[in-house]
Amino acid sequence: MYNKILEVIKDKNICILGFGREGKSTYNFIRRHSDMPITIIDKKDISNDVSDKNVTIVFGDNYLDNLDKYDLIIKTPGISLSEIDTSKIRHKITSQLQLILETYKDNVIGITGTKGKSTTSTLMNKILLDQGFDSYLIGNIGKPMLDDVEKYTNNTKLVIEMSALQLEFVNVSPHIGIILNLFEDHLDFCKTVSHYHECKMNMFKFQNEDDYSLYYLDNENLVNQMKNNKYLGKQYKISLNKNLDSNTIYKNINYIIFNNETLYDCDNKRNLKGEHNLINIMFCIMVSKILKLDLSKVIKTINEFIPLEHRLEFVATINGISYYNDSISTIPEATINALKTLKEVDTLIFGGMDRGIDYSSLIEYLYNSNISNLICMPTTGYKIADKLKEMNTNKNIYCIEYLEDAVKKAKEVTAKGKICLMSPAASSYEYFKNFEEKGRKYKELVKNDY
């Protein structure tokens, strides 16, 4: 089936826009099948990364100029086009996601949302594998979609984690689409919340009556999007507190119910803790119902599933203090969920790059919480600290610049028998390459003696 992708790019003047992991994957895919001329465009000079006489490299501050000269622009998600007018080139922009959807739409389970994408995608893929499906976990979670494309068959399931930047320019939606939630995020790339949410809603926008749209009924932003737009897919709702209609899967006391059928006992011993993870589980159960999977096997997979790194990850108990790493939480709502799940947090380490997100909900939550120690890091942590001081909070507030000193302070002030949680509620880009680097550094520091 991948030959259909080759037909799309055949005999065209193409450029690969962005040469990170996905851009290199696109280049490697083309070169596995053709020596056609390619232009690679990136802000950085990537000449040392490519030795190919049929490649032209364009780089520099003006790298986005003259995109209209190409027949096809294979864009990577790391490149933002928010600073240029794309109206005249939009029809030329494609991506790995677009190419996969054009070719394998009926095989795709697409998963997006501001938070919970990776856990839900990984769990869904594990459920399919445990049921004997040929299934691949690809997309935003780290595996480029064209890396194994030659292995995909008519029966292959493709579980694709999709970011807003991957969805921005698509004009095909997956057969089964999931939107977990919508909050404020990625304003450094999308500039406005409305544009960010519009990108996410492309998950449903191009579906037809034979497709499925699954969304979270308790998220106001998402519900408003569903009310204000007409989507054609069969809609299934997930809720912790509402039974809206026969297409709603919901929680009733401690059970997950759908169409008067009890599907899951929430008191089951499972590794995915917290209500936010229960929501992720409910989405996977609903997909399992759509696909008519063996529910007893699905429940076994759910209960045995090991959480991903950096997501409410237990690090160690040292000198009576339990340390947790939640570096994935880069928005206020995610940190609040973490604090609700871990009820014995005595010290919170938080803060990161300021992307213009509203922190009023987190400030209010911290003010009313039982957390004793707030270790605030630049830049957002300092701003939240100032607000809390204006409110005359009784918390111990420490403004600390470096993670090494933050962990050292946490070891000094956290009460024995309690928890120290690092949950930034902001991105890590000012001091770290990404949330993974920050999380691993935190774990290393926790286990080090000072």
Classify each residue of 224-250 as buried b or exposed e, where b means 16 or more C-beta atoms within 10 Å of its C-beta.
ebbeeeebebbbbbbbbeebeeeebbb
- Cβ atoms of residues 266 and 105 within 8 Å: no
Residue with tokens 């045995």: 304
Q: What is the pLDDT of residues 210-223, one digit of tens each?
A: 999 999 999 999 99
**Above 60 in pLDDT, residue 392?**
yes
Residue percentage of the chain with pLDDT more than 70: 98
Find the mean pLDDT for residues 423-439.
93
pLDDT band for position 144 (50/70/90)? very high
**pLDDT score at 450:** 47
Q: What is the pLDDT of residues 24-72, one digit of tens each?
A: 999 999 999 999 999 999 999 999 999 999 999 999 999 999 999 999 9
Q: Does domain 313-447 have CATH number 3.40.309.10?
A: no
Tell me the whole-structure pTM to 2 decimals.
Answer: 0.90
**Above 50 in pLDDT, residue 262?**
yes
pLDDT band for position 190 (50/70/90)? low
- Please check whether the two domains, 97-304 and 313-447, share a CATH topology: no
Q: What Cα–Cα distance (Å) separates residue 81 from each residue in 73, 93, 207, 389? A: 12, 11, 25, 40
Domain ranges of the chain: 3-94, 97-304, 313-447
Architecture of domain 97-304: 3-Layer(aba) Sandwich (3.40)
Q: What is the pLDDT of residues 10-27, one digit of tens each?
A: 999 999 999 999 999 999
Average pLDDT, whole number, for the chain? Answer: 95
**Above 70 in pLDDT, residue 349?**
yes
**pLDDT score at 35:** 96
Largest CA distance in the chain: 68
**pLDDT score at 82:** 85
Q: Does domain 3-94 have CATH number 3.40.50.720?
A: yes
